[in-house]
Amino acid sequence: MHVDKIRIDKIIKEYIHKKSIPLVLENGTPEEKAATSAFWKRNVRTAKNLAILSKGNTQQVIDAMEWFGGLCERKNLSWSLETIEKWFPDFMAKGKAIENIPESLREYLR
């Protein structure tokens, strides 16, 4: 499946928004722009994989970020886009109801 840049960018921008990551996208110093570029490059592969796993449905990826990110934040745990990628198949198979969390994920969230 071909994944376009728009979907990848949307996933990364939503991740930045949900995590409140202070990145400079315009009008920053060269150092700030370099840090933003490095962050973006680090997350492109994961965002592309998530776009493929969701068959291009970025809303499913955003829903997974809201669900899993919310669970982690309530438990005061850190999470990343790679975490979402790891648990995305379970999210798709089980849904987002708390009672449907797989045992391996429950262990992670304890």
Per-residue pLDDT 10s for the chain (110 aa) are 566 889 999 999 999 889 888 876 677 788 888 888 888 899 999 999 999 999 999 999 999 999 888 888 888 888 999 999 998 988 888 766 555 566 666 666 65
Are the C-beta atoms of residues 18 and 69 closer than 8 Å to each other? yes
Nearest-angstrom CA–CA distance, 40 and 12 = 7
CA 31 to chain centroid, in Å, comes to 25
Domain count, the chain: 1
> What count of residues does the chain have?
110
Q: Give Cα separations from 88 to 37, 75, 82 (angstroms).
A: 25, 19, 10
The model's pTM is 0.78
Structural domain harbouring 79: 5-109
